[in-house]
C-alpha cells in the first residue's frame, strides 16, 4: 500500500457499513479519501475519529445524491479543482427495495438501477477520464458487488436487486476488457461479499426489523472490516497483478 500514500480515493456510500470501513482503512494507509453520501454527518464524525486516531491520511466528506447525474458530475469537478483528480474509485454505494418482479413498483426498480448500475457506471467513466487527463496509468476501479451478482437468491424480495448485481458483474468484466483495449495498466476488480452485518438488512426490510435482525442472527456474518481488508489486499497487489474477482461469504452461508 506504500505507493498509494497521499493519493486520492473516492468511496461512494461512505457514511455507514462497508463504505465507512473502507474509507477508514484507506485513510489509515495514508490516502486522501473523498467519502460521499446523501447525508455527510456520519462521514464528518468518522473524519474526526480518523484525525484523533492520528491516521496519516485524510477523509474529506462530500454530499452527493448518486441517483442524480448532475450531482455526480459536480462532485468530480470539485475533486478535480481541490485534489487534482481520482486515482482509486471504490463504487460501494448500493441499495435494495422489496419489489418483486411480478408485483413490484417501478419506482423501486428504477431507484435500484439508478444507484446500483448507473451511478457505478457514471463514477467509473468520470474516474477513468480523471486518470487519463493526468496520465495516471496505475489507477484502480473497485466495484463492491454481492454474491447476489453470481446466483439468484430464492426470495422474491431479492430478485430485482440480484439483477442489478448481475449487471455489476458484467460491467466489471466489460470495464476490464475496455481498459485492456486502451493499452492501459489501470485495473478493475469486483469484490462480492455474502451476508455482511451492516445496516443494509434493516434498510432493506425497514417495515419488518425482526426479519432484518433474523438475517444476521442466523449465522456468523462477515463484518464490514472484512470487506475493507479485501480492498486493501487488492490495492496492495503488485502493479502487474490483476485481481479480477473476489468472492467472500461466511463459512456458514449455504449459497
Question: Which are the catalytic amino acids?
Answer: 161
229 CB-near residues (< 8 Å, 6+ apart): 25
Q: What are phi and psi of 146, to 5 degrees?
A: -165, 155
If residue 34 lies in a helix (H) or strand (E), which one and from where to where? strand 32-37
Rounded Cα gap, residues 135 and 173, in angstroms: 23
Residue 88: which H helix or E strand, with range? strand 88-91
Q: Which helix (H) or strand (E) holds 215?
A: helix 209-217
Contact 35, 23 (CB under 8 A): yes
* Inter-residue contact 32 to 56 (CB < 8 Å): no
Amino acid at each position: 500500500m506504500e505507493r498509494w500514500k497521499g493519493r486520492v480515493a473516492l468511496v461512494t456510500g461512505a457514511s455507514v457499513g462497508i463504505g465507512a470501513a473502507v474509507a477508514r482503512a484507506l485513510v489509515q494507509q495514508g490516502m486522501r479519501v473523498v467519502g460521499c453520501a446523501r447525508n455527510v454527518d456520519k462521514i464528518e464524525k468518522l473524519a474526526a475519529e480518523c484525525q484523533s486516531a492520528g491516521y496519516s491520511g485524510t477523509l474529506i466528506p462530500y454530499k452527493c445524491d448518486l441517483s442524480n447525474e448532475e450531482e455526480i458530475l459536480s462532485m468530480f469537478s470539485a475533486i478535480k479543482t481541490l485534489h487534482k483528480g481520482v486515482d482509486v474509485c471504490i463504487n460501494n454505494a448500493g441499495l435494495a427495495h422489496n419489489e418483486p418482479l411480478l408485483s413490484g413498483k417501478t419506482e423501486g426498480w428504477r431507484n435500484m438501477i439508478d444507484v446500483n448500475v448507473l451511478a457505478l457506471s457514471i463514477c467509473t467513466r468520470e474516474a477513468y477520464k480523471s486518470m487519463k487527463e493526468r496520465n495516471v496509468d496505475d489507477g484502480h476501479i473497485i466495484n463492491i458487488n454481492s454474491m447476489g451478482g453470481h446466483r439468484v437468491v430464492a426470495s422474491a424480495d431479492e430478485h430485482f436487486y440480484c439483477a442489478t448485481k448481475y449487471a455489476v458483474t458484467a460491467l466489471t468484466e466489460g470495464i476490464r476488457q475496455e481498459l485492456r483495449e486502451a493499452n492501459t495498466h489501470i485495473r478493475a476488480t469486483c469484490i462480492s461479499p455474502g451476508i455482511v452485518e451492516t445496516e443494509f438488512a434493516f434498510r432493506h426490510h425497514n417495515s419488518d426489523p425482526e426479519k432484518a435482525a433474523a438475517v444476521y442472527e442466523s449465522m456468523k456474518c462477515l463484518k464490514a472490516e472484512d470487506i475493507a481488508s479485501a480492498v486493501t489486499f487488492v490495492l496492495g497487489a503488485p502493479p502487474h497483478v490483476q485481481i479480477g474477482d473476489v468472492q467472500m461469504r461466511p463459512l456458514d452461508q449455504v449459497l
